[in-house]
Amino acid sequence: MIDVANIQPRMLMGPGPSDVNPRVLAAMARPTVGHLDPQFLEVLNDTRDMLRMVFRTENELTLAVSGTGSAGMETCVVNLVEPGDRVLVCVAGVFGTRMAEVARRTGAEVVTIERPWGQVFTAEEIAAACEQHKPLKLVGIVHAETSTGAAQPIPAVSEAVHAAGALLLVDAVTSLGGMEVSVDDWRIDACYSGTQKCLSCPPGLSPVTFSAAAEQAIAARRTPVQSWYLDMTLVRKYWGSERLYHHTAPVNMNYALHEALRMVLEEGLEARWRRHTAAHEALKTGLERMGVRHLAAPEHLLPMLNAVAAADGVDEAVVRKRLLDEYGIEIGGGLGAFKGKAWRIGLMGESATMRHVEALLSALREILT
Amino acid sequence: MIDVANIQPRMLMGPGPSDVNPRVLAAMARPTVGHLDPQFLEVLNDTRDMLRMVFRTENELTLAVSGTGSAGMETCVVNLVEPGDRVLVCVAGVFGTRMAEVARRTGAEVVTIERPWGQVFTAEEIAAACEQHKPLKLVGIVHAETSTGAAQPIPAVSEAVHAAGALLLVDAVTSLGGMEVSVDDWRIDACYSGTQKCLSCPPGLSPVTFSAAAEQAIAARRTPVQSWYLDMTLVRKYWGSERLYHHTAPVNMNYALHEALRMVLEEGLEARWRRHTAAHEALKTGLERMGVRHLAAPEHLLPMLNAVAAADGVDEAVVRKRLLDEYGIEIGGGLGAFKGKAWRIGLMGESATMRHVEALLSALREILT
């Protein structure tokens, strides 16, 4: 049996989790208190306020769901959609595919628009799909596809979706905290993220936010939300001033998120985005010198998730194993269409530093030459 | 804004969370590693093995769901039940009511049998209800009702349920680790628990186990599980040898559960049950001397959750507030039918000690006299 005390630290440069600052780990290890303890309620209030700053929103219904990013995806879908609704999901990678699957399980009619992996949608394509399938309750899209490393142009998509009278759901699991996500300016109606990417908190919670229009859609439902655990009409009564018991909040995970959000705001959102971009540029330059190319088009590259074609003539899994075993560096392999052909290099939160970039480049140089 | 580093410890003697041992907090604060890191996969394998020991089962499908106990309840229900199934839920408190509500949201036909709060079902009552409502897919019951402090006689219930050809679902959120829960001997088909009660780990995960018959029922489903996040047919491929990515496991929460389970098994299950019973007896004797009485019948009292009538002539909420503010002791108030009339005193896991009992009795004596 493993002793957790002996777990060896890694440099986490995969698709998440990212490195966690010792301040956040220390916060998580504070003594557990009750989920109705005034001290903990203060943690929740602060967290809600800080999440609004990080999401750049004034949305009332903003909180951390007690599950990972995939639970946040399901929360948004099952609260907004019910049988009889029509939903359009934009699919250009694993997480768009997942969103469509989650939506199908609500009994809604789900249609998809697809782009090859690594490519992005234009506003015209979205507008045409909205016209073809109207009336639509909801259009869902992944901002930063962790499977491909491409960023979708959310402001343009938003124009098209709202012109069609639909609500816009955006997956910001990978983008939040590492590049601009402006929920109010971009008129996003529902947005979810994860803690373990650019917020650099351990995995286990999912920040979500809903616009006033999304709240109205929830209030106008004809049927109960199919998930009791993720039902925002109930969960919000605990996060709000009623403090009505719903489920026991993951107390220590919320300590960790509180501290991680403080660190994000101490650094400042714009400075944090710049840091991610700078690390990405340095990585890209270094990889290109080795002949390793990004898979997505240059103008749509994500800073925090670099999906690159594995070097010619090497077994990509062997390289990853050597990085982990000999250098303590974790990077990811390809998913789905990119399985066996790609590396996914994360530069997220605490892992978006020149130290990380140089350590990886140096290790890759040794392994590949 | 609160600084989490300044959070004051409490003596947690409410309905959960319970006190967490510093060993468990330290494990949780180990550096986060990837969810496919060989070190972490070893943590998962150990956890599965230890959960089998704690549940007293050889069930293959045994793991920790990435959510709190209520997510475990929903996991069991939505995996076993689909539209068209008939489900019987035994309701004698808040959590039975919740189970029926979760089941209704699957589109199943849900019938209930009810007992007044704090009372227990007989095998004859369950058998009669099964006969009346057959054919039944599933019968659900809460072993230890945290809202009332009464223990249901699961072995007798199991006989009646299996005689009727139904599957048995048992909520062991509060009982597991504090009193006997023998999944195989009692022929329980699906069982879920929480980490923050008698396992004394922070809240955030839900151990679950499914019998071979339950697995067959899942395999024979006509429709997909309505929750993608909680779909055991997918989650098991990550916990099993395939290691197929589903969602990013809450890595540090799993560290904590691993250490908490080690501590449970180091103590030994029987010794741990005895410790809970001894603490309960001491508390009961002390409270009776003050004229404070348990609400459930003496022969059905839970050791770890003592629901008692609040002392005459005092505002129960004021007493709780004074306990918290002046003594640092948290106890719970009544839920539902017992709101405003009861205290719920937890003696769970690390909180089931004579030191806790004496501290509470002494504080109550000062406040009430």
Among A40, A228, A254, the residue to mutate for chain B (most B Cβ within 10 A): A228
Whether residues A229 and B255 touch (CB distance < 8 A) is answered with no
Interface of A with B in 43-62 (CB under 8 A): 43, 46
Residue A295: name the closest of A116, A90, A37, A109 by CA. A116
Distance from CA of A323 to the nearest CA of B (A): 12
A324 lies within 8 A of chain B by CB: yes
Report residue B82 as tokens: 């689909």
pLDDT band at A337 (very low <50, low <70, confident <90, very high): confident
Q: List chain A residues with CB under 8 Å of B264.
A: none
B350 lies within 8 A of chain A by CB: no
> Does pLDDT of A324 surpass 90?
yes
Query: Is this complex scored with an ipTM above 0.85?
Result: yes
Domain A11-17+269-368 part of CATH 3.90.950.10: no
Span B10-43, pLDDT tens digits = 999 999 999 999 999 999 999 999 999 999 999 9
Whether residues A12 and B33 touch (CB distance < 8 A) is answered with yes
pLDDT band at A312 (very low <50, low <70, confident <90, very high): confident
Sign, CA torsion B210/B212/B213/B217: positive
CATH of B9-17+268-368, one of 1.20.210.10, 3.30.70.60, 3.90.1150.10, 3.40.50.300: 3.90.1150.10
Report the distance separating Cα A121 and Cα A354, nearest Å.
32
Distance from CA of B127 to the nearest CA of A (A): 29
What is the average per-residue pLDDT within A14-19?
97
Q: List chain A residues with CB under 8 Å of B39.
A: 2, 7-8
Q: Which residue has the tokens 């904590």?
A: B256
Q: How far is CA A208 from CA A230, A232, A361, in A?
A: 11, 10, 35
> Does pLDDT of A336 surpass 90?
no
Interface of A with B in 241-280 (CB under 8 A): 245-253, 255-256, 258-259, 262
Strand ranges of the sheet holding A332-333, from the earlier edge strand across to the other edge: A305-309, A342-346, A332-333
Residue B312: CB partners within 8 Å, gap ≥ 6?
B291
pLDDT of residue B186: 98
Nearest neighbour of B228 by CB, restricted to A19, A101, A259: A101
Q: List chain B residues with CB under 8 Å of A39.
A: 2, 7-8
Sign, CA torsion A323/A324/A326/A328: positive
Whether residues A68 and B324 touch (CB distance < 8 A) is answered with no
> Does pLDDT of B95 surpass 90?
yes
Report residue A235 as tokens: 């969960």
> Does pLDDT of B369 surpass 90?
no
Contact between A255 and B4 under an 8 Å Cβ cutoff? The reply is yes
pLDDT of residue B311: 83
pLDDT of residue B337: 82
Per-domain residue ranges of chain B: 9-17+268-368, 22-265
Q: Do the bridges between strand A342-346 and strand A305-309 make them parallel or antiparallel, or are there none, so unpaired?
A: antiparallel
Span B73-90, pLDDT tens digits = 999 999 999 999 999 999
Distance from CA of B163 to the nearest CA of A (A): 31
CATH of B22-265, one of 1.10.1740.10, 3.40.640.10, 3.40.50.620, 3.40.50.300: 3.40.640.10
Report the distance separating Cα A172 and Cα A91, nearest Å.
15
Span A275-286, pLDDT tens digits = 999 999 999 999
**Chain centroid, CA A39 distance in Å:** 28
Report the distance separating Cα B247 and Cα A259, nearest Å.
23
Sign, CA torsion B311/B316/B322/B324: positive
pLDDT of residue A96: 95
B369 lies within 8 A of chain A by CB: no
pLDDT of residue A193: 98
Q: If DSSP codes are grouped into helix, strand and coil, which group holds residue A148?
A: coil
Report the distance separating Cα A10 and Cα A360, nearest Å.
12
Please report, for chain A, how many H helices and E strands are present, in that order. Answer: 12, 14
**Chain centroid, CA A44 distance in Å:** 21
Residues above pLDDT 70, as percent of chain B: 100
A118 lies within 8 A of chain B by CB: no
A8 lies within 8 A of chain B by CB: yes
Residues above pLDDT 70, as percent of chain A: 100
What is the average per-residue pLDDT within A136-152?
95
Q: A196 to chain B: nearest residue by CA?
A: B248
What is the average per-residue pLDDT within A62-83?
98
pLDDT of residue B312: 85
In angstroms, how far apart are the furthest CA atoms of chain A? 63
Among A7, A105, A199, A226, the residue to mutate for chain B (most B Cβ within 10 A): A7
What is the average per-residue pLDDT within A100-124?
95
How big is chain B by its Cα radius of gyration, in Å?
20
Nearest neighbour of B30 by CB, restricted to A5, A30, A70: A5
pLDDT band at A357 (very low <50, low <70, confident <90, very high): very high
What is the average per-residue pLDDT within A35-63?
98
Distance from CA of A348 to the nearest CA of B (A): 13
Q: Do the bridges between strand A144-145 and strand A150-151 make them parallel or antiparallel, or are there none, so unpaired?
A: antiparallel
Whether residues B27 and A14 touch (CB distance < 8 A) is answered with no
Span A220-274, pLDDT tens digits = 999 999 999 999 999 999 999 999 999 999 999 999 999 999 999 999 999 999 9
What is the average per-residue pLDDT within A214-223?
98
> Mean pLDDT score of chain B, rounded to an integer?
97
Distance from CA of A124 to the nearest CA of B (A): 31
Q: List chain A residues with CB under 8 Å of B69.
A: 247-248
